[in-house]
Amino acid sequence: MKIDLKIPNLGEAEDTEIIEVAISKGEKIKKNDPLIVLESEKAAMEVPADYDGVIISVLVKEGESVSEGKIFATLEVNDAPIDKDESQPEKIKVEDQVVQVKKEAQQKDKKFTENLQIFGGINSGPAVRKISRELGIDLTKIKGTGKNGFITKDDVKNFIQSLSETKPQEYAELSDLENFGDFTLENQSKIRKAGAKNLYNSWSSIPHVTHFEEVDVTNLEKHRKILNDVSKNKISLLAYIVKACSIVLLKRPIINSTLVGDGKLMLKKYVNIGIAVNTDQGLIVPVIRNVEELNLGQISEKINELADKARRKILMEKDLKGATFTISSLGAIGGTGFTPIINPPEVGILGVSRSKKVLQLLNNETTERLITPLALSYDHRVVNGVDAGEFMQEVKYLMENYHND
């Protein structure tokens, strides 16, 4: 039996590109074999086979943009599911419904045309014209997104917003550089390009301030070693940091908030923490949901699971949404500190650098301590220096005095 292989539901991803076609005509495949790899602005994912069979035809190629439901290949199988055969009365009923829908659509189109008012080549309604007069907006400069180029209120709002947006990113001119020596040109992945755009917009539109702190994790590391000696799943230092942040974020929701309007803050009663993961496609930030309900072992397991999915390109859209706070750890790479860039619509992000051993004078005795540098970047439109300072002091206290209740 021949079946069509279709592009699956990709959530809200609108621009999806095929970056790899892993099959060819006449090839035998087995269930769960990779067929194609799709890449959106947020993540890359493999589309696996649901059945054993032989590829009859491949209808797409690498670099092609696709959408949900598009047939990308046909497969000959022996055990494909058979669609339920509809009875004749049901078909007649469906056809009647189609006729009714078409009739209603025609009536709506006719009503729309009758109500459409065109003034000087501009398609708009009375409300839009009133807004344009009050704000002094030239409607001839706005491209309508409604039917027949009709200018909507959203079109006007977007036009006004575009007037206040920062200037576009600037890039070097190839012609200015190509004569100085040999070079190669490589295309950035969509994930890297989308990340660059988001970071640029964040840095350009949000007033960043960064609070630096050093945390003594000497006792925490002893506690972690004891747990790992008896635990099947190894617990990382990052898991402790995630847990400490979740506790303080609930206590101080200003750091766990979102600026949703002029003078309005959305204070969240839950904690979803994004964990920045480096992959060969670029930086991806999967989300651990409801961290406040998880223990250290569960958090550490979730971090490993999401990082593995990110690198294997099997993250789902739901794995990348809903973060209220982000943590970016460069501890394994090194460095004494860095300034992380906020991931909107969040108002805070914590950067973690590599722990270092230092000598300190405690009780008139020199002792070696393990210190972890932390850096909290925050949106100064929402978070004040006192808010950030108190948040960091409480995270520091929990990490330096951690005990298993």
Per-residue pLDDT of 103-125, as tens digits, reads: 554 554 444 334 333 444 566 66
Question: In this model, does residue 13 exceed pLDDT 70?
Answer: no
One of 3.90.180.10, 3.40.1000.10, 3.30.559.10, 3.40.190.10 is the CATH number of 192-400, namely 3.30.559.10
pLDDT of residue 346: 96
Cα–Cα distance measured from residue 338 to residue 243, given in angstroms and rounded to the nearest whole number: 22
What's the pLDDT tens digit per position in 267-282? Answer: 999 999 999 999 988 8
pLDDT of residue 11: 65
What's the pLDDT tens digit per position in 49-70? Answer: 888 999 999 999 988 888 888 9
List where CATH 4.10.320.10 sits in the chain. 88-164
Please give the backbone phi and psi of residue 47, each rounded to the nearest 5 degrees, phi first: -105, 110
Sign of the alpha-carbon torsion through 294, 297, 298, 300:
positive
List where CATH 2.40.50.100 sits in the chain. 2-76
Cα–Cα distance measured from residue 62 to residue 210, given in angstroms and rounded to the nearest whole number: 42
pLDDT of residue 394: 98
- β-bridge partners, 259: 265
- Whether residue 287 contacts residue 320, with contact meaning beta carbons closer than 8 Å, is answered with yes
Cα–Cα distance measured from residue 38 to residue 255, given in angstroms and rounded to the nearest whole number: 35
208, 211, 380, 403: which one is catalytic?
Answer: 380
User: What is the residue-averaged pLDDT of the chain?
Assistant: 83
The pLDDT confidence band at residue 159, using thresholds 50, 70 and 90, is confident
pLDDT of residue 358: 95
The pLDDT confidence band at residue 374, using thresholds 50, 70 and 90, is very high
Question: In this model, does residue 174 exceed pLDDT 90?
Answer: no
List where CATH 3.30.559.10 sits in the chain. 192-400
Please give the backbone phi and psi of residue 275, each rounded to the nearest 5 degrees, phi first: -115, 115
For the question of residue 211 being annotated catalytic, the response is: no
What's the pLDDT tens digit per position in 196-224? Answer: 888 888 888 899 999 999 999 999 999 99
Task: Report the pLDDT averaged over residues 336-342.
Answer: 95
Q: Which residue has the tokens 């000087």?
A: 120
Q: What are 393's two structure tokens?
A: 């002091």
In terms of Cβ atoms closer than 10 Å to its own Cβ (0-12, 13-18, 19+), residue 168 is: exposed
Which homologous superfamily does the CATH classification assign to the domain defined by 88-164? E3-binding domain (4.10.320.10)
- Whether residue 277 contacts residue 304, with contact meaning beta carbons closer than 8 Å, is answered with no
pLDDT of residue 172: 84
Cα–Cα distance measured from residue 71 to residue 55, given in angstroms and rounded to the nearest whole number: 13
pLDDT of residue 94: 47
Task: Report the pLDDT averaged over residues 305-322.
Answer: 93
Q: What are 44's two structure tokens?
A: 């890359």
Question: In this model, does residue 185 exceed pLDDT 70?
Answer: yes
The CATH number of the domain covering residues in 2-76: 2.40.50.100
Query: Residue 345: is the preceding peptide bond cis (ω within 30°)?
Result: yes
pLDDT of residue 121: 54
